[in-house]
Structure 1
Amino acid sequence: MIVEEFSYPSANGRDEITAWLYRPEEETGPPRALFQLIHGYAEHSRRYMPMIEGLTEKGVVVVADDHVGHGATALSSGTWLDTGGTGYQTFIDDELALTKIARESYPDLPLILFGHSWGSMIAREYVSQCPDLAAGLILSGVVEQLTSAGLDMEVLSQSARAAIALNVSPKLREVSPRLRASSEEEVVTELASVIATKATARYEEDDPMAWVATDVDARREFLEDPLGAPARQPSFDFFRDLLGLYIRVGSDRFPRRVRKDLPILIMSGDQDPMGNYGEGAYHLANKLWKEGHGHVRTRVFPGARHEIQWEGSSRGGVRKEILRFLDDVVEAGRKVSVDEAPPRRQAYS
């Protein structure tokens, strides 16, 4: 595997995104596909090295970055878990920019988008705004139906209360900006507490990270990863942006905006609260089928929680599903090219 590290400016105008291009060795033959990896919340792309190595061995070019506020990008900027004032569109624009960079070297390879958890939300919005760029979409640890899991109504109600508290008196904020900062910090702390409580409600373990995986070592590695950030406090704006993106892609309008011939693979664990314990994956698949999408495959892994890539019960199955999906897309001959003009966006109607 040949690794190229590079950087490019974020759409927020503040950060430089750190990214990597992983190329197969020459003896594997001509590259077969371009695989864009979109990591999740509080993690970074190099956590996926076993997957990346497996893909390059199969002749697949992989491109990945560390999002604004995450991983090597945050380490360089010194700013963690903060969008930069430009909203969740920042992450979609940064991924589109990464696609264009990769396309300079590989203009004709079919592009497969892979997004895990929060990354699956970014990937869904990407294909909604630019439906013609991807040849396939993989949603891992899909975030769907949080209401049924008892999460988002609590978060929404508290976010509304927080918005009122923080915006009711602009004059007061001008007089005492420290009051606003304190209020925002308290709001984020309260929201994080609600999510942790709801996300672990079905488990017997007394561990706020129990929703991550059944494997205690996997939880520890996630929590203690020096380039991860699960123990860091996100900014109020970042929490708002994350929730806003979930609401946008979780609406019934999403299936109507996605290209109907786009192959989609949806994966989840049946013990994952972020996907309503597996039901969210089927719920999303059914919405897509109802709108006429005929290339949707759903795989829910028994006994697995959120990190299906690292759970012993699902790790091998996840990799097999990804390779099977990739082979199907490549064999179908779905190739796209990108013009010099910016990608076409479609706004929700």
Structure 2
Amino acid sequence: MSLREVEFTSSNQRDTVYGWIYEPVRPARGIVQLIHGLGEHSRRYLPLITALLDAGFVVAADDHAGHGKTAMTSGIWADAGDHADRVVVVDERTLRSITRELHPDLPYVIFGHSWGSMIARGLVSGDSEQVDGLILCGIAAGIHGIENLLDRQALSAEADTEAPAPEAYVASMFDGFIARYEPGSGPTAWVARDPDVVRDHAVDPLNNFGAPMSVRFLAGFVDLYDAANADEWYPSVRGDLPVLILAGDADPVTGFGEGAYRVANQLVRTGHGDVRTRVYTGFRHEVHNEPEISGDVAREIIDFASRCVARPT
């Protein structure tokens, strides 16, 4: 493996975004751009990145504005500036351009987890000719609190958008996340069924999941969620783009699996003929990190990406 660290100015004109391009030893057959989720960073995916490298894929990943090394360097956590929904999508488009310059002829697959699944959907909207496959893992769809409780009108009326978002909005967003789990479950038990994964998530200093989100960041998150799940998103993606959706049926971010099926079914209804959905029984949000199934999830991803890069152009 060779590793390139790249950096570029975020579209918010404030942050330097840090990214990494991992290249396999043998000639590469494709690229996977990995887009991480809320309150984490891209190097939490090293086991999956390693599996992709072994399978012959270049992997490109970065730490979003307000996250990971990007936030460690700027000192600003859980904030991406104004219009955060646009900032993170444009920044991923910049990473794609950098990666394309290094590997102009390789097929390109997008992988997005959780918030990253929203960013990935924004990235391919109206621009799907640029990619050869889309993987949506821990797909953010069917989140009860965002869809039924969060007061969008009040949130948009908040005067100090750079201030931490009031707890009422955050509580609405995460409402019911651990309601189906065993008594005494911690507040981030939804992350994984395996307690070691939850523990590592909590102590990782580059995660900083508890950092208070700014009002404008939360508003941008909701705006991107709405756009990614809107009826208008589906026709904005070309009909022959292969899509893989991965989720756990004990994951509130996916509506306990129902959100994954909802997106898949709507894709099929709107003429997208190559859609595969895998929902893992009894598992929670980070299916790619659950020790019991991580190998199987990696195989699903690699098999799908391999098929995408082998498709005739």
TM-score interval, normalised by the smaller of the two chains: over 0.9
Q: TM-score, normalised by structure 2?
A: 0.95
Residue 150 of structure 1 deviates from its aligned partner by: 4.9
Alignment of 1:38-117 (within 5 A): 38-117=35-114
Residue aligning to 1:337: none
Residue aligning to 1:345: none
Residue 307 of structure 1 deviates from its aligned partner by: 0.9
Q: Do 2:155 and 2:215's aligned partners in 1 also have CA atoms closer than 8 Å?
A: no
| Long gaps (5+) in structure 2 | none
Alignment of 1:1-349 (within 5 A): 1-25=1-25, 28=26, 30-146=27-143, 149-155=144-150, 157=151, 159-164=152-157, 166-167=158-159, 180=160, 184-185=163-164, 187-206=165-184, 207-334=186-313
Q: Do 2:108 and 2:309's aligned partners in 1 also have CA atoms closer than 8 Å?
A: no
Q: Do 1:303 and 1:313's aligned partners in 2 also have CA atoms closer than 8 Å?
A: no
Is the partner of 1:88 in helix, strand or coil? helix
Q: Within 1, Cα distance between the matches of 2:207 and 2:253?
A: 19
**What is the one-letter code of the residue matched to 1:212?**
V
Q: TM-score, normalised by structure 1?
A: 0.86
Is the partner of 2:19 in helix, strand or coil? strand
Is the partner of 1:198 in helix, strand or coil? coil
Q: Within 1, Cα distance between the matches of 2:57 and 2:288?
A: 19
Post-superposition CA distance 1:28-62 (Å, at most 9, x none) = 2x210011000000000011111111111111111
**What is the one-letter code of the residue matched to 1:105?**
L
Q: Do 1:188 and 1:234's aligned partners in 2 also have CA atoms closer than 8 Å?
A: no
Residue aligning to 1:341: none
Q: Do 2:71 and 2:77's aligned partners in 1 also have CA atoms closer than 8 Å?
A: yes
Is the partner of 1:199 in helix, strand or coil? coil
Residue 181 of structure 1 deviates from its aligned partner by: 7.5
Q: Do 1:304 and 1:313's aligned partners in 2 also have CA atoms closer than 8 Å?
A: no
Residue aligning to 1:340: none
Q: Do 1:142 and 1:266's aligned partners in 2 also have CA atoms closer than 8 Å?
A: yes
Identify the range of structure 1 (123-132 vs 31-40) with the bigger mean alpha-carbon deviation: 123-132
Q: Within 2, Cα distance between the matches of 1:70 and 1:60?
A: 25
Q: Do 1:36 and 1:62's aligned partners in 2 also have CA atoms closer than 8 Å?
A: yes
CA shift in 2, pair 1:12/1:103, >3 Å = same
Q: Do 2:41 and 2:206's aligned partners in 1 also have CA atoms closer than 8 Å?
A: yes
Post-superposition CA distance 1:203-246 (Å, at most 9, x none) = 12421111111111111111111100211111111000001100
Identify the range of structure 1 (78-87 vs 47-56) with the bigger mean alpha-carbon deviation: 78-87
Identify the range of structure 1 (292-301 vs 196-205) with the bigger mean alpha-carbon deviation: 196-205
Residue 152 of structure 1 deviates from its aligned partner by: 2.5
Residue aligning to 1:339: none
Q: Do 1:151 and 1:199's aligned partners in 2 also have CA atoms closer than 8 Å?
A: no
Q: Within 2, Cα distance between the matches of 1:163 and 1:267?
A: 32
Q: Do 1:121 and 1:249's aligned partners in 2 also have CA atoms closer than 8 Å?
A: yes
| Long gaps (5+) in structure 1 | 168-179, 335-349
Q: Do 2:37 and 2:115's aligned partners in 1 also have CA atoms closer than 8 Å?
A: yes
Q: Within 1, Cα distance between the matches of 2:172 and 2:226?
A: 18
% same residue:
41
Larger Rg: 1
Q: Within 1, Cα distance between the matches of 2:298 and 2:161?
A: 44
**What is the one-letter code of the residue matched to 1:18?**
Y
Q: Do 2:155 and 2:219's aligned partners in 1 also have CA atoms closer than 8 Å?
A: no
Q: Within 1, Cα distance between the matches of 2:274 and 2:130?
A: 17
Q: Within 1, Cα distance between the matches of 2:260 and 2:193?
A: 19
**What is the one-letter code of the residue matched to 1:154?**
L
Identify the range of structure 1 (324-333 vs 107-116) with the bigger mean alpha-carbon deviation: 324-333
Q: Within 2, Cα distance between the matches of 1:80 and 1:151?
A: 22
